Amino acid sequence: MIVLGIESSCDETAAALVNEHGDVLSDVVASQIDVHAEFGGIVPELASRAHIRNIVPVIRNAVSVLPGGFSDVDAFAVTQGPGLVGALLVGLQTAKSLAWSVGRPLVGVNHLDGHLLAVHLRKEGESRRAPEYPYIALLASGGHTAIYRVQSWSDIRLLGQTRDDAAGEAFDKAAKMLSLGYPGGPVVDRLAGEGCLEQKLFSVPMPSLENLDFSFSGLKSALARHIELRGIPGGRGLADLCASFQFAVVEALVRKSVAACKTQGVPRLVLTGGVAANRGLRERAKQSCLAEGIELYVPPAASCTDNAAMIAYAGALRLAAGEQDEAPTVYSRDPHRRRGKFRRDGTLAPRT
């Protein structure tokens, strides 16, 4: 079964062809970084307009690998949310029109499910290294930061999440305060690699392992205060400041992810979302997982960031199970994730 996936929830217009085994036939992404860079963040109205410009060429490009074009597509999958409503509508309406015009089924996909299942994707020439179920997944991106227990592709449970900013947003805002441009994660990451850590400069936010939630807004304020008092350093000082800021974010993410694996009795951890590209995070997670006997899985960067292959795959699994949607609509917030305290066997503990 060949599924055409379409993704337009934020600032990437993407289309991809994937089968239900996760084999990727094509994977096309048009980034809007240039559109939003001068504003230091995503401008929703501009994102919608850029999706409208990009979506037809991106889909054409993705389908061009099929000899019969659209007639070789068995079904369509599209991101329903969470995301920017105006941006989501562009992908959803395009997918509905295409599915209707060629008479093939359509399924709506939760964007977060896509990220959490992306570890199962495999491109030509790549070897697949995917965990068995269940696994713990840390999803850290510009819009989301949460830890999940992925019991199966259709049973995904929220264990903890950020109470304010996402980790990627924290990196982006830090970079903005330091006049480092947008998106901030990659440049903070690069500078942090050249700097030395001042352990005491920023404390690790919400360090208690009593819960698996995060908070990054206090860390952002601490950086703002630091800059107010001492100004933006140059050269070595800037690299050291980035190293200290990154350390605090990474520690929070790794400590809680490892704690989730331990309390859930699941020795498999997946890192995904754009922040999974962070070298400090990868390195720290590697050390910590090795020490705790946890297997670590980090998909290639192109599968971690927003893409349509993950949407096509999540959709293909739903379709293979006999599901489809008559008329999917969009949603801006995650509508159905169950949250609660889960026992080690994955069952939900009653509220006390």
Of 88-96, 216-224, 301-309, 310-318, which part binds Zn ion (CB under 5 A)? 301-309
Stretch of 32-40, 184-192, 298-306, 323-331 lying at the interface with Zn ion (CB under 5 A): 298-306
SS3 (DSSP) at 106: strand
Binding mask 306-325 for ligand KG4 (x = CB under 6 A): x-------------------
Name residue 232's amino acid. Answer: I
- DSSP, collapsed to helix, strand or coil, labels residue 348 as strand
Selection from 14, 15, 18, 16 nearest residue 2 by Cα: 18
- Least Å distance, CB 142 to ligand KG4, is 3
Q: Does 168 help bind ligand KG4 (rule: CB under 6 A)?
A: yes
Task: Choose the stretch contacting ligand KG4; rule: CB under 6 A; options: 121-129, 182-190, 316-324, 334-342.
Answer: 182-190
114 touches ligand KG4 by CB under 6 A: no
Which C-beta is closer to Zn ion: that of 261 or that of 276? 276
Structure tokens at 31: 């980034």
Of the candidates 5, 81, 91, 183, which one interacts with ligand KG4 according to CB under 6 A?
183
Q: Residues 22, 91, 184, 195: which binds ligand KG4 (CB under 6 A)?
A: 184
Among residues 108 and 185, whose Cβ is nearest to ligand KG4? 185
- C-beta of 321: minimal distance to Zn ion in Å? 23
Among 81, 142, 160, 328, binds ligand KG4 (CB under 6 A): 142
> To the nearest whole angstrom, how small is the minimum distance from the Cβ of residue 40 to ligand KG4?
12
74 and 3 Cβ atoms separated by less than 8 Å: yes
Select from 13, 32, 141, 161 the one that contacts Zn ion (CB under 5 A): 141
Contacts of 220 (CB under 8 A, 6+ apart): 165, 170, 173, 174, 177
Pair 87, 8: CB distance under 8 Å: yes
Cβ distance 156 to 130 under 8 Å? no
DSSP states along 257-283 = HHHHHHHHT--EEEEESGGGG-HHHHH
CA–CA separation, 132 and 152 (whole Å): 9
Number of helices (H) and strands (E) in the chain: give both, helices first: 11, 11
Nearest to 170 by CA among 178, 333, 198, 9: 178
Across the strands, what pairs with 5? 16, 77
Nearer to Zn ion, 51 or 104 (CB): 51
Between vectors from CA 87 to CA 81 and to CA 91, what angle results, nearest 5°? 75
Q: Which is nearer to ligand KG4, 141 or 257 (CB)?
A: 141
Sign of the Cα pseudo-torsion (49, 278, 209, 115, in order): positive
Q: Which is nearer to ligand KG4, 98 or 248 (CB)?
A: 248
User: Per-residue string for binding with ligand KG4, 251-290, x by CB under 6 A?
Assistant: ----------------------xxx-xx------------
Cα separation of 314 and 303, whole Å? 13
Q: Which residue, 23 or 306, is less far from Zn ion as judged by CB?
A: 306
Q: Write out the residues near ligand KG4 by the rule CB under 6 A.
A: 10, 141-143, 168-169, 171-172, 183-186, 189, 273-275, 277-278, 305-306
Q: Write out the residues near Zn ion by the rule CB under 5 A.
A: 141, 306
